Amino acid sequence: MYQHTLAHVTSLDGVTKEFEIQAGVLQEDTLAPILFIVVPDYVLRKVMEGNKERLGFTLESRQSRRIGPRTITDLDFAGDIALLADNLKDAEELLHLVEAAAQKVGLGINAKAVLYKDTPSTIKTLDGSELEIVHEMTSNI
């Protein structure tokens, strides 16, 4: 859809020469809801099948055999996802599961940093890249 797409700019000075558009799918694009909401949600749902009580950040402990723990695994905004876990081992496992599930639907993960409250060890992606340890995160929105 984006290959060999040409455009020109019209201004008070006239019309520019045509040029090729080299950008991918932007957030305002009609494909954005599929790429930035539906597909990541599908990936995270697949990852959590069978892992709901084991992975994620525990909000409330198990109450009984019938009432399991309440956990949260991710916070999402547009194309950004923050994965949450109780400890570094679970965080790394969750990251690896998300990376593998994303690859199955043709997506790549651009993992950048780990925010951790204690003295951290390292977390690595599936390809062995170490994530940067940070003490705070802000959004570029």
* Predicted confidence (pLDDT) per residue in 86-105, tens digit: 888 888 899 999 999 999 98
Cβ-based neighbour number of residue 115 at 10 Å: 15
Q: What is the mean pLDDT of the chain?
A: 79
Mean pLDDT of 45-56: 86
120 and 113 Cβ atoms separated by less than 8 Å? no
Residue ranges of domains in the chain: 27-134
pLDDT of residue 120: 61
Measuring CA to CA, which residue among 66, 116, 70, 108 is closest to residue 90? 116
pLDDT(106) > 90: no
pLDDT of residue 100: 93
Higher pLDDT among residues 58 and 118, named by residue = 58
pLDDT of residue 73: 85
Measuring CA to CA, which residue among 89, 90, 62 is closest to residue 74? 90
pLDDT of residue 99: 92
